[in-house]
Structure 1
């Protein structure tokens, strides 16, 4: 009996519920990664990734990626020593244009960029 337990314990895989490596991957990409690329990189499907995020974090992976990207852009805006334009910051952080970034700023802060 002990031999069987040892046999199966050796083959027991760690549960795939740990999202820390996926969150780290998002942070390292500074939020500039797609859900499909994230799923491929972590050997899972986009749908499975979405279920795990909903279960453990409460939001979709896409929303988490958007929040992470916004955090990096917001930090760049706050520490804008070189006086870059909002368009330059937007493009640098993966937004289509400054209006896209402006909408994200309003969405997450409730203020327009001029009110920051």
Structure 2
């Protein structure tokens, strides 16, 4: 388990996903827009984070929303998430990503999905 968590945290995009999910749920379209990566790449990052126990998901209609998993896996997962969030300012361009996320949150996920041709 510890090795899975360490491997999951060893990628800047996955760290950004954790930071983006602090206090909110997001769908793949929103995370894809934020990271500027292909949908398949974002899905792979989400899969790694889920396998490490760092994310949970909730299905609502055709949408799957992801959130930080603070309860299911215990203290080690909560500690890892807490460490990432406490050090979020150390990520390159942290302010730019925060501003971009605020714009994305104001955009209808359906529109993001259409824009990305992923619906």
Q: Which has more helix, going by share of residues?
A: 1
Q: TM-score, normalised by structure 2?
A: 0.32
Q: TM-score, normalised by structure 1?
A: 0.33
Bigger RCO (CA 8 Å, 6+ sep)? 2
